[in-house]
Structure 1
């Protein structure tokens, strides 16, 4: 967690909050909100996908939490491994690009299951295929990339089934852009963040619409996946 905080706290210090309506997840989220009454998003930084107003947010970055509070969110300083909420509190949960960062993913998933109501929806994304590991994974503090069967087993063990899924994330055509971005964040952070804040609104237009499919998609050569999961009673979880 210390390594993650050391990376993301300076990042969010100079970044701006991006409204969830600007992401390609918003049509899906809008649909889910019609039936959800209590929402939690874990580790959104300044890129929340659930509506800021009325959503409980957990993060380890004080800079992110402060800016989410200004936007009428309900921010709490905590980690995914110890969520400060009662059992079966939330019927819509979001944990994008987080499970691959934690040392103990079993505990993290157990906490998500604990605070979810039976029938709750969990939006979860994670990178796939260890053989796709790049220096960028190290740079942003990833602990692992999952094999598809591993993430399925982790979810099933904690009472979640995958209802729908889609290819996720924006993959650059060349690694040169990522390499350049990493260098600037390491050596010219202030300049990098000014550039990022200026360019971010335009890059949002490059997002492709989510192509959701029933169950788990064919993940061959898929670098990152978005999973729409349902919390079920342990007895009804597939083996």
Structure 2
């Protein structure tokens, strides 16, 4: 069982890191991400939508979607763009049971110490038959200093992730290899150094060069039924269905 002190320190690390990042970053529209061909039909069929901890990289349509995040700079930008913004933790969502038909949690559950509580909340607010769009990093053997830098608590073993989803009433419908992290460790090290020591210059390059190029050259997602072979996959995107 995670200690409250550990959870508090991890949450504060994430809040400081992402407040600073989103304060200087630009909002990227969800239509620009390679997740959009998967998201668009799901969103069109769902009037009750929630995305948890999107920062300024939302994947669900901004207008008509409720966004829950701990970063006030991100929430302000999402509100100004037409979204409903709520200050909340993934492990303590201020919504009623079965309140949403489509829930997105992209790259967030690996940041919290008590992921059982996070999945319990995602399951609670997702209506039976509803959809969960989930993205997580895989394989602790692939852990790098970048994981610690961005506030990760873990990478998931595929069998542990599947068991976690099953315990909380989710079945995997489709999945795809996913992620925008550079594969070059030297590039990651350089990025971490600049964010730490030359933040203003780093954010200038991030907003004007790094992020636009990352979005432009994303490979299309190859979503397949069930759970794909993830042996060589760094991050997986899952489309899950909430059972009864």
- Is this a same-fold pair by TM over 0.5? yes
Say whether 1:148 aligns with 2:158.
Answer: yes
The separation in 2 between residues aligned to 1:87 and 1:173, in whole angstroms, is 40
CA deviation after TM superposition for structure 1 residue 171, in Å? 4.5
Cross-structure match for 2:217: 206
Say whether 1:180 aligns with 2:190.
Answer: yes
RMSD over aligned CA atoms reads 0.8
Cross-structure match for 1:231: 242
Unaligned runs of 5+ in 2: 1-10
The separation in 2 between residues aligned to 1:75 and 1:171, in whole angstroms, is 27
**Contact 2:47 2:64 survives alignment (8 Å):** no
- Out of 131, 134, 137, the residue aligned to residue 127 of structure 1 is 137
Cross-structure match for 2:199: 189
Cross-structure match for 1:40: 50
Deviations 1:84-116 (A, max 9, x none): 101001000100000100010000000001011
CA deviation after TM superposition for structure 1 residue 218, in Å? 0.3
Matches within 5 A, 1:93-172: 93-172=103-182
Deviations 1:99-134 (A, max 9, x none): 100010000000001011000010001010111111
Cross-structure match for 2:73: 63
After the TM superposition, list the runs of 4 or more consecutive aligned residues in structure 1 that deviate by more than 6 angstroms: none
Q: Between Structure 1 and Structure 2, how many residues are aligned?
A: 233
**Contact 2:175 2:239 survives alignment (8 Å):** yes
SS state of the match for residue 107, structure 1?
helix
SS state of the match for residue 159, structure 2?
helix
Cross-structure match for 2:5: none
The separation in 2 between residues aligned to 1:73 and 1:225, in whole angstroms, is 26
CA deviation after TM superposition for structure 1 residue 208, in Å? 0.5
TM-score calculated relative to the size of structure 1 = 0.96
The separation in 1 between residues aligned to 2:106 and 2:57, in whole angstroms, is 10
The separation in 1 between residues aligned to 2:181 and 2:208, in whole angstroms, is 20
TM-score calculated relative to the size of structure 2 = 0.94
